[in-house]
Amino acid sequence: MLDDILRKKAQGSLNKSKELYDRIQEESPKGFNEQVKELFKQYNLIKKTAEQFSEYNKIESDIEDLKKLLKNEPDEALAALETEEIDSLSDKASKLSEEIKDFFYPKEDLQDKDILLEIRAATGGEEAALFALDLFKMYNKYALNKKFNFETISLSYSSSGGLKEVIASVKGKGAYRFLRNESGVHRVQRIPATETQGRVHTSAATVAVMPEPEEVDLKINSEDLRIDVYKSSGHGGQSVNTTDSAVRITHMPTGLVVTCQDEKSQHKNKAKALRILRSRLLGKIEADKKSLEAQSRKSMVGSGDRSEKIRTYNFPQGRVTDHRAGITIHKLASFMDGNIDELLVPLADYFESQNIAHG
């Protein structure tokens, strides 16, 4: 049955669904615009759970009424029927409570998923691309330390030899559990090699950690995809392939776009692009669910969204600081060499304590 914390969460979803329904009724006559689409999207995400909780409440009320009747029931035959009905309703309530629990506390099968690690240069031009390369090397060394399998799926170099974008597969037990909190904006403060006056520059790279689902975990309808093929290009846009081997896949319902041109084979590029798309879709589903949960309980602990600055790497002071947990480590050189468990372990404890505290 539902404990107090789950009951509050479910009640929050029920209240939110009613609020969203009222707003949809208010906005729909004005036309099916982007605002209405977003309201429908939020409503559909929690509608089923809200309905389940409403049904759960009714069953609980019916059970209480039957128990009162049973307490004063003189007829043994009727008492037996009432007992049977209570047992039947209790089974229904138990099943509903498990389904509600699964919505708010998904089974921890994600914990042992392999992941796709995506790193992109952000603000800071070439220095940001060089920092993205440093992060890529850091996670590669960490994976080797953990005996994870680390495979580069797609990468794009900058003119200075840094990385504009790279996507890598990390396979191994606990890969997602260890690295799940790395998603966000990583900021670096250091003197670039090209800086002649010794000034410290600030730049950034984004990191996204996406659990890699199997095909059975997340079905993608072929009719939802638009697949375009074209000639792959190198620096400056010049064609480097005479055949249409590059692939761009657009997931029409969400607008997510994935391109892949690293392989000479169109078939291999398509397979890689689908692999990346599947992970991004699962990541989006999880992010949407977390966002709705946060709205329903009116308290945001920190979404881990890629728009957040989560960490600063200060090279002049030799320190790395995680801003979410307020943890600072003065071993930056060792950290960049892949020894990051000293931060990841207390960070995982911090997020676990936050989840418990905020229910």
Tens digit of pLDDT at every position of the chain (359 positions): 776 767 887 888 899 899 998 988 888 887 778 888 888 888 888 899 899 999 999 999 999 999 999 988 888 888 899 999 999 999 999 999 888 877 775 555 556 678 889 999 999 999 999 999 999 999 999 999 999 999 998 888 998 899 999 999 999 888 888 898 899 999 999 998 777 788 899 999 999 888 876 654 567 788 888 998 887 765 444 444 456 778 999 998 888 888 888 778 888 888 888 888 888 887 777 666 556 544 543 332 233 333 458 999 999 999 999 999 999 999 999 999 999 999 998 888 787 666 544 44
Dihedral sign (CA 16, 17, 20, 25):
negative
Residue 52 contacts by C-beta under 8 Å, 6 or more apart in sequence?
10, 96, 99, 100
Q: Does domain 108-219+284-358 have CATH number 3.30.450.20?
A: no
Bridge-based pairing of strands 309-314 and 184-190 is parallel
The CB density around residue 251, as the number of other CB atoms within 10 Å, is 19
Bridge-based pairing of strands 115-121 and 149-157 is unpaired
The CB density around residue 311, as the number of other CB atoms within 10 Å, is 23
Chain segment 118-175, per-residue pLDDT in tens: 999 999 999 999 999 999 999 999 999 999 999 998 888 998 899 999 999 999 888 8
